[in-house]
Amino acid sequence: MSRKDPPQKPTNLRPYECDLVIDNQHLTKLEISPYYEKHNKEYLEALKKKGIKLTPEELTERLITDDLIRELVKQLDGKEDIVSVGKHIN
């Protein structure tokens, strides 16, 4: 029987300091992939291709940014009743 190693941890994760309890697991640092930047770029290119122009306020509502992630972490900081929905919490 062959042993299956877990996938390697990506090297481009961005750390965000926090104090959270998710599914009884205490976390002091979240590491989030900056892959969302690629999605933002694809979204902006699709808008441009379709000739759709959005105001800066509308873009702020639709794009994921470091500031948005920091705000989310700040809102969740200190919470202890968070339940994970996905499988990517380590």
Average pLDDT over residues 85-89: 60
DSSP 37-67: HHHHHHHHHHHHHHT----HHHHHHHS--HH
Output the pLDDT for position 38: 93
Buried b (16+ CB within 10 A) or exposed e, 1-14: eeeeeeeeeeeeee
Selected residue with higher pLDDT from 42 and 2: 42
* Amino acid 64: pLDDT: 92
51 within 8 A of 14, measured Cβ to Cβ: no
Helix or strand or coil: residue 24?
coil
Above 70 in pLDDT, residue 61?
yes
| Domain boundaries of the chain, sorted by first residue | 36-82
pLDDT for 88: 56
Task: Output the six-digit token pair for 62.
Answer: 């639709």
Contacts of 45 (CB under 8 A, 6+ apart): none
Q: Can you give the length of the chain in residues?
A: 90
Comparison of pLDDT for 58 and 11, the residue scoring more: 58
- pLDDT class of 41 with cuts at 50, 70, 90: very high
